Amino acid sequence: MSNYHIKHLEEYYQVYRKSVSEPENFWEEIAEEHFMWRKKWDKVLSWDFSKPEIKWFEGAKLNITENCIDRHLATRGQKTAIIFEPNDPKEAAEHITYNHLHKRVNQFANVLKSQGVKKGDRVCVYLPMIPELAISVLACARIGAIHSVVFAGFSATALSTRINDSDCKIVITSDGSYRGAKTIDLKGIVDEALESCEGVASVLVVKRIHSDIHMESGRDHWLQPLLDGASTACDPEIMDAEDPLFILYTSGSTGKPKGMVHTTAGYMVYTAYTFKNVFQYKENDVYWCTADIGWITGHSYIVYGPLANGATTVMFEGVPSYPDFGRFWEVVEKHKVTQFYTAPTAIRALAKQGMGFVEKYDLTSLKVLGSVGEPINEGAWHWYNDNIGKKKSPIVDTWWQTETGGIMITPIPFVTPTKPTYATLPFIGIQPTLMDENGKEITGNQVEGRLCIIFPWPSMARTIWGNHQRYKDTYFSAYENKYFTGDGALRDEVGYYRITGRVDDVIIVSGHNLGTATIEDAVNEHPAVAESAIVGFPHDIKGNALYGYVILKDTGESRDQNNLRKEINQIITEHIGPIAKLDKIQFTSGLPKTRSGKIMRRILRKIAHKDTSNLGDTSTLLNPEVLKDIMENVP
Ligand code: WT7
């Protein structure tokens, strides 16, 4: 019998040891006993981090939707798979059973087929958090199409870049979306994006806000009539274990976003197994992850992980502040949520509102609390633990990444003793290590370094779409034979890990991963801007906020700086989305550079952090005189 469900600490250590000493046997048993295969694998694992090439369950045949839906029908057909909680609390929640989900996914899959979508084609999904988002993702997987979900807060430019990068032939969107008291014209954004996407032949449009929108004849189709005419039966496409399941874009420290490619079997096994253990999911629990399916958290822990376990998963369309700051707790009470998984930025924003909103609701259904996306600071951890968990629901601080597909370092609730701000121990099968800047492995405890993983795990991304070299350069070149995460971490006296934050040019703002280079490219589009450098600085709610140093072109004219600030943020909103707006913009005559012309961000970061007492070694600067100017003009 495999250890699918870990229940106490000794068992964790025992299973962990097995998972690292005989990983193939370990994962084979999990895969064999808990999933549905059309054909078993020929080989559990083959890997070579120098290429890099990673294959799990090679030779196996399966369809992930059979595992997430069909196999539950006999025993859980009437069970709720998805609870949809709308933006407006007055609109009724929708309970979608496994039977119902099966029909809706099949109909959607048949509509995709009728639009000419075939196995291996890329489908862009640009939808708000409505049931059709989960259903369209599953419909793609049903027919072997590769979904590429783009978070519906991204701008038209960001959307078109992603559509073109992976040659999507079809886009699924809605007329618009609700966001608190506002509506957003999603279809208008798609229309704008498609002006520069020649490969898109059709657009399927879900009616959500009933706005009056433009429908391009021959290209745009309302979804509902097509669904109404589609059969509720659709045989699943039989996929190879290593066939791509989806592409999901994440920011890089340089260049355009990276389309991380996740494949089928390993991703399924790992997300299902982590979901079961990290949330200690039991048959009648109601699990709620507040993330958006536009991010990896939603892919793995709203859709695939929960459904593979036959769980009930909540999809929330709204925001934590609408109609007021009690909304999360109202939803917990209403649906008797047992596991609640959110981001530190939301916890900090809610903590700031005081206890009035919390006390109004009955939170006694809660058993496990989760945190993800950025380091959780001590204050937020205690507020969450004391006031939401009432010191009875353990907090699982889960560290992972778009690239890792699933949770990597985390406590297992009721198993691993928690420690504020610590993600604690590696999950089963995960072998982390810390490296120093010179490429040496740091052994022992009470140490700090750069977090790497030395052995493959089933749900790791296999490549970057269309750019395998970049995959190798970004993740496997910093340290030989190791996956480099981009994060710093410390390991305490008992071997618990605490993630200290990014060590590269990625900044996590409100749990969103933003690359400085992409934002700088947007800022530099402003006709008055000559050059710019973006760094992060601490912010009480967002974790980090963005600070831009901007050099203006010398045109001889004087310009209103506040107007320029607005225009620069407008350009960022158009190129990326409002999440990437700069909180502070400082106009400067120069940027500190090394003799080779590289911007010394370390110094700019210190100035943004108001930590100018020790700027470190500035002797190698090409232009040390600019520092005085920058420090004297901090806004
Ligand atoms: C980066 C990955 C994993 C899903 C959401 C974000 C940071 C994530 C934690 C945590 C400290 C965390 C890291 C990581 N991060 N979780 N529990 N503690 N930092 O996915 O957008 O790919 O971002 O988020 O810096 O590298 P992502």
* Residue 155: partners with Cβ closer than 8 Å, 6 or more residues away: 189, 573, 574, 575, 576, 577
Please give the structure tokens belonging to residue 183: 């509506």
Q: In testing the pocket of ligand 1, which one of 513, 514, 544, 579 has its CB within 8 Å of the most ligand atoms?
A: 513
E-state strands within 420-505: 432-435, 441-442, 447-453, 463-464, 483-491, 497-502
Nearest ligand 1 atom, CA 513: 21
Q: What is the pLDDT of residues 370-425, one digit of tens each?
A: 999 999 999 999 999 999 999 999 999 999 999 999 999 999 999 999 999 999 99
Please give the structure tokens belonging to residue 540: 């009480």
Residues in the ligand 1 pocket, defined by CB under 6 Å:
250, 295-297, 371-375, 397-402, 423, 485-487, 499, 502, 508, 513
Q: In testing the pocket of ligand 1, which one of 149, 378, 401 has its CB within 8 Å of the most ligand atoms?
A: 401
Ligand 1 centroid to residue 177 C-alpha, Å: 27
pLDDT score, position 225: 98
How far CA 22 is from CA of 47, 225, 308, 531, in Å, comes to 15, 52, 25, 52
Q: What is the pLDDT of residues 461-505, one digit of tens each?
A: 999 999 999 999 999 999 999 999 999 999 999 999 999 999 988
Confidence of residue 625 (pLDDT cuts 50, 70, 90): confident
Confidence of residue 119 (pLDDT cuts 50, 70, 90): very high
Ligand 1 centroid to residue 372 C-alpha, Å: 6
Q: How many CB atoms lie within 10 A of CB 354?
A: 11
One DSSP character per residue, 212-273 reads: -----TTTEEEHHHHHHTS-S--PPPPEETTSEEEEEEE--SSSSPEEEEEESHHHHHHHHH
Residue nearest to atom 6 of ligand 1 (CA): 373
Provide mean pLDDT across the span 105-115. Answer: 98
Q: What is the pLDDT of residues 235-263, one digit of tens each?
A: 999 999 999 999 999 988 777 899 999 99
Ligand 1 centroid to residue 223 C-alpha, Å: 35
Question: Which CB contacts under 8 angstroms, 24+ apart, belong to 527-530?
Answer: 527/553, 528/552, 528/553, 528/555, 528/559, 528/564, 529/553, 529/568, 530/554
**H or E element that contains 506:** strand 506-509
Please give the structure tokens belonging to residue 366: 């809660």
Question: ipTM score of the complex?
Answer: 0.99
Provide mean pLDDT across the span 623-629. Answer: 88
Residue nearest to atom 20 of ligand 1 (CA): 401
147 closest CA partner among 110, 176, 172: 172
Sequence letter at residue 616 = G
Indicate if the pLDDT at residue 555 is higher than 80.
no
Indicate if the pLDDT at residue 366 is higher than 70.
yes
pLDDT score, position 341: 98
pLDDT score, position 32: 97
One DSSP character per residue, 405-433 reads: -S--B---TTTSPP-TT--BSBPTT--EE
Ligand 1 centroid to residue 564 C-alpha, Å: 33
Q: What is the 3-state secondary structure (H, E, C) of 304-341?
A: HHHHHCCCEEEEECCCCCCCCCCHHHHHHHHHCCCEEE
Indicate if the pLDDT at residue 550 is higher than 80.
yes
CA angle 426, 429, 431 (to 5 degrees): 55
Omega prior to 52 cis, within 30 of 0 = yes
pLDDT score, position 1: 55
Taken in order of first residue, the domains within the chain and their CATH numbers are 9-319+399-489 (3.40.50.12780), 510-633 (3.30.300.30)
Ligand 1 centroid to residue 373 C-alpha, Å: 4
Nearest ligand 1 atom, CA 486: 26
Provide mean pLDDT across the span 561-581. Answer: 96
Q: What is the pLDDT of residues 44-64, one digit of tens each?
A: 999 999 999 999 999 999 999
Q: How many CB atoms lie within 10 A of CB 441?
A: 13
Q: In testing the pocket of ligand 1, which one of 247, 274, 301, 374 has its CB within 8 Å of the most ligand atoms?
A: 374
Q: For 510, phi and psi rounded to 5 degrees? A: 50, 40
Omega prior to 89 cis, within 30 of 0 = no
Please give the structure tokens belonging to residue 138: 């599953």
Nearest ligand 1 atom, CA 410: 17
Given a contact cutoff of 8 angstroms between Cβ atoms, the answer to whether 81 and 96 are in contact is: yes
Residue nearest to atom 12 of ligand 1 (CA): 374
Residue nearest to atom 24 of ligand 1 (CA): 373
Ligand 1 centroid to residue 502 C-alpha, Å: 9
Confidence (pTM):
0.94
User: Which strands sit side by side in the sheet containing 170-174, from one edge to the other?
Assistant: 220-222, 202-206, 170-174, 122-125, 146-149, 244-250, 258-263, 463-464
SS3 percent helix, strand, coil of the chain, rounded to 5, is 30, 25, 45
Q: If DSSP codes are grouped into helix, strand and coil, which group holds residue 608?
A: helix
Residue nearest to atom 11 of ligand 1 (CA): 375
Residue nearest to atom 7 of ligand 1 (CA): 374
* Residue 54: partners with Cβ closer than 8 Å, 6 or more residues away: 45, 46, 47, 48, 456, 460, 462
Ligand 1 centroid to residue 402 C-alpha, Å: 8
Query: Residue 147's beta-bridge partner residues?
Result: 123, 246
Residues in the chain: 635
One DSSP character per residue, 123-152 reads: EEE---SSHHHHHHHHHHHHHTPEEEE--T
Q: Go through 105-122 and write b for each residue having 16 or more CB atoms within 10 A of its CB, e for each that does not.
A: bbbbbbbbbebebeeebb
Cα 9 vs. chain centroid, distance in angstroms? 29
Confidence of residue 68 (pLDDT cuts 50, 70, 90): very high
* Residue 221: partners with Cβ closer than 8 Å, 6 or more residues away: 115, 202, 203, 204, 205
Q: What is the pLDDT of residues 70-93, one digit of tens each?
A: 999 999 999 999 999 999 999 999
Residue nearest to atom 2 of ligand 1 (CA): 401
